[in-house]
Every structure is written in C-alpha cells, then in structure tokens.
Chains A and B, each alone.
Chain A
Amino acid sequence: MRVMSLATRMALAAVAASVFLGGFAVAAEPALTIGLLLPGPKNDAGYNQSFYDAALEVGRNIPGIRLIVAEYVTDAEAESVMETMIRQGARLILPCGFPLQYPAVAVAARHPNVRFMHPGGWEVRPNFSNFFATTQLHFYIMGVAAGLMTETNKIGFVAGMPLGFTLGNVNGFHLGARSVNPDVTTHLLFTFSWGDTTKEAAAAQALLDQGCDVITMHLDSPIAVIQTVEAAGAYTIGFMSLDARRYAPDGWITGLGLTWGDYFTQSAQAVIDGTWRTGFIRRGLAEGFLEIAPFGGRVPAEVREAVLAVAEDFKAGLIDPFKGPIRDQNGVIRIAEGEIWGNEKMGDFDWLIEGITGSPK
C-alpha cells in the first residue's frame, strides 16, 4: 500500500499547494513569506491542524505576512517543495512533519539566509532550530482528569506506533490517573499505522468493549476515535488540536492542545527584525506551547477545579511526574528512589509503567 499512498499523496501535494495573502497585504512586497509543509490535511482536527492554525495566527498578528501551505507532503518530495517555496520568496520554512527533518536540513544547508523550524526532531544548525512541547510530562494532567471521571476505573489509550515519545505520553497519562485514583488501570492499543481510520475506530471499540469509559489518543487525526467513543456514550480526552472537542458535544472531558501561535508569531517577527536565533526548544504549559482545552458540560465543578489546580502546580514547577520509585509492568524499578526523569529522557521509554495493560513493542 505504501507505493500507492505515496502516489496519491504526491498528486495531492501538487494539487493542494495553495497560496494566499494574510492581513491587508495586497501590496507587492510582503513583510515575510512563510512556507508551511504538512504531512497530512490542514483540517484534521489533530497534528496538522495545530500547525496550520498557528500559522494563520501569525498572519493575524503581523501585517503583511504571506503564507504558502503545502499539504500531504512526504519526505520524497519535501526538498523540491521547500525549494519552490524559497524561490517564491519564503524566508521562514516550517517543515512540520517528523520525517521532513533531514530533507529540511539538506535544504537549510543550501540556503543559509532562510530560517527553518522543525517540530519534534533533534538536529540543530545555525539556521535550523528544533521545537516541541513537553507533552509526556503534561499528559499527567489529562490523567488526573481521566482518573477523576472514570466510573469503571478502566481508561483507554489508542496510539499509532510504539515510539518512545508515544509510550511517554501513555506513561504520563497513567501516572496522573493513579495520582488521584489508585485503582485505575490504563489500557493501551496500537493500530500500527498513522492513517487507518477504520482500524482506529475498531481500536476504540475494542477498548469500550473491555469496559474503558474514558479514552484518549495519540494519532494524526482523533476524529474516528472520538466519534466512536461519543456514540457509545463514553468520555473523550483530546490531544493536539483544541478543535477536536466539537466531535464530542456530550462526552468531552478536556484535552491537551498544541498551541504554537505565539511562538510562531515571535519567531516570524524575529526573522523580520533580523534577531532570529537557532536552538533546541522544549516548552510546556507555562510558556504557552500547550493549553488545557475547555471542559465539557458533563464535567463537575470539583473535577474542573482539581484539574486546573494541578495545571497551576505544573506551571509553578511543583510537579515532577516521573519521580522515582517507578516500576515497569514486570515490577522492575526503572526510575530509582530519588531519581527524576525530566523532558530530556522522554524519548527513552521502551517500557510501560505497572498498571498499564498493553505491550511497549
């Protein structure tokens, strides 16, 4: 299926690349042209939309921004898409897909005066910075909400691929739930794909059948999972785009939104002013990279207060979720007494915390 999906994606990338003007800039010379590359559709209510919404916010905040968006970009054609954007005047490129890192590094080497900002990777160059949110740590807050809301004491997690960062999200979620509800078990399912929506719906259904009544996810698009959960009358906790709550008018609890708007705006202004600096940037709730989504109507006031109180503690730096002793599923101590795993360790997980049902591989 790989070849075919690549072929469609390439065709789509060509069709979908769209240009439009932001603000009042009908004038000839935009203040800055930004090139945004997305691996999927801009309106997926998930990963892609978080970046697209942020780029639109730049256009609203700074007059004269010109935004070039290419959707469905794969690593195969990423370099040529970026080169085209640069020929059209782009001076800030946002290659917002994990596999686009090395194509972007290659293009960055050829264009030292163009700035690149990549989410979730590790490479840093003078004109190539790396940014992401500390989602693993903050999933703890979502866990608190789940632990307080569950009646069956079984909460579910649907994820795409068993990567270290994904396992970290699951572990953080579980720790938060356990902190308020020691009886809770977390049930993890992988679809082993990022885009098979039918299988995502089937995974959510399997969790519901096992008795889970609060379900969250780490997928490109959460729509299929949320709607399956909603139809069954269970609760959803969202991840990535704050927009996801519109699919769960009844069962929405809250969500962890990726909110890059302010950061993109500051970065764009810095490029215009000539003050842009590279870096390896990981930030959380306190710095505005993450946001707690509004609560759903069925969430009682005391739960809202408890969740927001934990969020405030996080902002104040009072909570370290991954603080030893922490045991894995086999009862082996992985984080020793007195040891704390910070954000730099979040990609290292190849194990799951005890009380989680599921396989880390």
Chain B
Amino acid sequence: MNWAFFGGLLSGTIMYGVPLLYTTLGEVIGQRAGMVNLGLEGILLIGASVGFAVSIETGNPWLGVGAAALAGALFNLVYAFLVATRRANQLASGLTVMFFGMGISAMVGRAYVGGGIAGLARYQVPGVAALPWVTRTMFNYDLLVYLAVPVAVLVWWVLYRTRWGLSLRAVGENPSAAFAAGRRISALKYQAALACGFLAGIAGAHLSVALARTWTEGMTGGRGFVAVALVIFSKWHPLRAIVGALLFGGAVTLQLQLQAMGAGVSPFLLNMIPYLLTLGVLLVWSGARRFAAPGALGRVYSGEE
C-alpha cells in the first residue's frame, strides 16, 4: 500500500463518477415521471459527438457542452413523442432511441475522428496540494465536476420542494389522480424528457470534451445502461444517486489503481462489484414501500385526455 494509491483512487473516483451522476440524475427525473428510458446510451453518444464537434468548430469547449445539452434535450423529444403522444411501449421506444442515437452520433462525429482538443480547463481543489499524499496530478477537476453535487441537490430540491416536482412525481405515481387534480400529463412528461436529455447531453460532453478529449464511435461504452442500473440502486432519489455514481466511478478507478500497484485482483471481478451491489439493493429493499419504484413506472397512460 502506498499513499499515491489512496490519493489516486479518491481523485479518480470523483472524476469518473461525475458523468455517471449527470446521466443518473437525468434518468431519475424521467423515471419519477413514469418513463423508463433505455435510450440513455444513445443520448450520451449524441452529447459526446455534438459536444466534441462544436468544441472543435468554435474552439470553445463550453459552447460544446452547451450544444451537447441542447442536442440531448431535443433528441430526447423523440422518446417523449413516442411514449407520451403516441403512447408506445417504453422499452421498445428506448431501444429505438438508443440505436438511432448511435447512428446519428457516428455520422456527426465522423468528420471529427482523430481530432484532439485541450478540453475544459481544470483547477486543483484548493488546499489539497498541502496534503502529503496528494501529487500535482491529483484532484484537478473541470467546473462540471465541481457543479455535479450542487446539481444533484438542485434536482432534489426541484423534485421534492416545488409544485412542479410534486406534479411530476404525481404523474409517475398515479397519472389518473394527477389528471383529476388538473395536471397536464403529456406536457409534464415532455418537460421531464427535456430535463433528462439535457443532463445526459452534458454527461456525454463531459466524456468527450473533458475526460477523453477526443471522439471515437461508441465511446460511451455502456455508461447509459450503468445509469439505468444506478437509478434502481439509488432508489429513485437524486441524493442517493451521488453515492451510486461514486461507487461506479470508484470501481473503474480501483481496478486501474490496483493494477498500477501490481495487486493481482481480477479486473473482471472488480467490474462486477457495482452490479452485485445493485443486485443486493434489489434483494434487500425491493419489498419496502419507502424505496419502491414510482407506481406508474413503465406504464402507458391512456387516460382521459
């Protein structure tokens, strides 16, 4: 064991947990409105390709992040139209959106394969340099990392402390009751989908613009699906999503840091840890009312409109 191991592990856990957190927060909003979106992987890819393309074209990575958020939000309207307006099956719609997003992102990104950028500016966490186990390369984060927990708190506040959040959760729990109370189901679902796509777009841009600083086809590597699992792990709560995202980020980093130390632990085993924990959460809390999924999650609302 050495100190660089702990420093590197902590530093990397935060860095690589952040894109998962943004994605998971988006999916929490969507699922709270009753929509399971398996298309996240496609939206992440759209965000990654658009974010990178715009960063290269404008020379400003923040414009890239902004464009990625907008592209993600707009693209997720396809999903909203399918499930809220056309009342299509959510799983099928999500998978369609995923494949669609893979294709579009490959087309958008094609001209930018092999490109490189300086990426988002990074700032070391103030004060950590004084710690003996922190090296110059650790805890250098871009602003999106610093903003991740505040955004999670904001999502929690919006969902649990505002009228809009209450309406949104009502739509996910019991759309008939929400309708009877005068809520516009379809409009709320569209708004939730926009928010979900917006956050997933940011997450995609974080991968390409801040972390890898390049675009390759399919570069999200299944993180969209990890986020769906994380929503279940965090039991549809934005603040617990922070824990979940750190856990997943930590699994990737632990695997690399253990290798770097020469510890002979199977990386495949380490990759499974987060899923085993999700399985455990499902086994232990699946029956508890307080941790239950939104009542109308995945259902088609064909009510009174």
**B90-118 to A contact mask, C-beta < 8 Å, 1/0:** 00000000110011001100100110111
- A197 and B216 contact, CB distance less than 8 A: yes
The number of chain B residues with a CB under 8 A from chain A is 52
Q: Report chain B residues within 8 Å CB of A198.
A: 16, 19, 207, 211-212, 219-221
Q: Is the interface of A mostly helix, strand, loop or mixed?
A: helix
Q: Report chain B residues within 8 Å CB of A210.
A: 4-5, 8, 257, 260-261
CB distance from B238 to the nearest CB of A (A): 23
Q: Which of B7, B15, B114, B221 touches A41 (beta carbons < 8 Å)?
A: B114
Q: Report chain A residues within 8 Å CB of B280.
A: none
Q: Which of B102, B110, B135 touches A211 (beta carbons < 8 Å)?
A: B135
- B221 and A12 contact, CB distance less than 8 A: no
Considering the chains assembled together, what is the distance between the CA atoms of A5 and B114 in angstroms? 19
Q: Report chain A residues within 8 Å CB of B218.
A: 1, 4-5, 8, 195
**A208-222 to B contact mask, C-beta < 8 Å, 1/0:** 111100000000010
**B174-201 to A contact mask, C-beta < 8 Å, 1/0:** 0000000000000000000000000000
B-facing residues in A180-201 (Cβ within 8 Å): 187-190, 192-193, 195-201
CB distance from B112 to the nearest CB of A (A): 10
Q: Which of B11, B15, B260 touches A207 (beta carbons < 8 Å)?
A: B260
The number of chain A residues with a CB under 8 A from chain B is 52
- A231 and B119 contact, CB distance less than 8 A: yes
Number of residue pairs A-B, CB distance < 8 angstroms: 149
Q: Which of B102, B116, B118, B268 touches A223 (beta carbons < 8 Å)?
A: B116
Q: Report chain A residues within 8 Å CB of B268.
A: 192
- A247 and B116 contact, CB distance less than 8 A: yes
Decide yes or no whether B161 CB sits under 8 A from chain A: no
Question: Which has the most chain B C-beta neighbours within 10 Å: A5, A12, A210, A357?
Answer: A210
Decide yes or no whether B58 CB sits under 8 A from chain A: no
Decide yes or no whether B59 CB sits under 8 A from chain A: no
Considering the chains assembled together, what is the distance between the CA atoms of A36 and B23 in angstroms? 39
Decide yes or no whether B89 CB sits under 8 A from chain A: no
A12 with B211, Cβ < 8 A, contacts A41-B114, A205-B15, A210-B4 known: no
Considering the chains assembled together, what is the distance between the CA atoms of A4 and B103 in angstroms? 10
- A12 and B106 contact, CB distance less than 8 A: yes
Question: Which has the most chain B C-beta neighbours within 10 Å: A1, A5, A201, A226?
Answer: A201
B-facing residues in A109-134 (Cβ within 8 Å): none
Extra contacts besides A11-B106, A195-B216 (10): CB < 8 Å: A1-B221, A9-B217, A196-B219, A201-B211, A201-B212, A207-B260, A210-B5, A210-B261, A232-B136, A234-B137
